[in-house]
Amino acid sequence: MKNNIVLIIVLALLVGGLGFYGGMKYQQSQRVSFSGQFNNRQGIRSGTNSRGGFQPVSGEIIASDDKSITVKLQDGSSKIILLSDKTQINKAETVDKSQLKTGEKVAVFGTENTDGSVTATNIQLNPIVRAGQPPVNNQ
């Protein structure tokens, strides 16, 4: 009888320890890695985007018309941003396309097209620079 109790206790501890170890390994495999999100200065990641194709672009508007703006990126290259009737343009409040003027600082969120342009869903005018994000350079 005494041996059975000791055996049951040892088995219970073994099963509990294995369950705890398995739970820890499972939790480690579920951790989200944010390290790849900000490798590029504009915050664009390579490959597919887990947020449904939304990719931020930030820089200075160097050209604009009714259907698009061109944004100079921090590395000196530029990106064409396509505007639609659904594109939200925000300053301190929602504004229209006429507020998109050359020289304005912008942060653009949208879907990157196969030709490299971006179809905008949201444009922030004079975006707030957050910690870890380099400021837009006026070169």
Question: Pick from 81, 138, 132: which is nearest to 107 by CA?
Answer: 81
Residues 8 and 62 reside in one and the same domain: no
pLDDT at residue 69 in the model: 93
Task: Kindly report, residue by residue over 46-76, the tens digit of the pLDDT.
Answer: 444 444 555 578 888 999 999 999 999 888 9
Euclidean distance between CA atoms 1 and 91, whole angstroms: 78
CA–CA distance, 57 with 26 (Å, rounded to integer)? 35
One domain, residues 25 and 62:
no
Q: List the structure tokens of 35.
A: 């390290």
Tokens of 48: 């597919």
Domain region containing 92:
54-125
Has residue 136 been placed in a domain? no
- Position 130 scores a pLDDT of 54
Q: Are residues 21 and 60 in the same domain?
A: no
Q: 8 lies in a domain?
A: yes
Nearest to 125 by CA among 77, 50, 64: 64
Share of the chain above pLDDT 70, in %: 71
**Do 23 and 65 sit in the same domain of this protein?**
no
Specify the pTM: 0.43
Establish if 81 belongs to a structural domain: yes
Whether 45 maps to a domain, the answer reads: no
d(CA 127, CA 130) in angstroms, rounded, equals 9
The reply to whether 43 falls in a domain is no
Same structural domain, 27 and 63:
no
Instruction: Evaluate whether residue 99 is within a structural domain.
Output: yes
Lookup result for tokens 């929602």: 94
Q: Which of 52-56, 68-72, 127-131, 132-136 has the lowest mean pLDDT?
A: 132-136
Looking up residue 82, the CATH number of its domain turns out to be 2.40.50.320
Is pLDDT above 60 for 6? yes
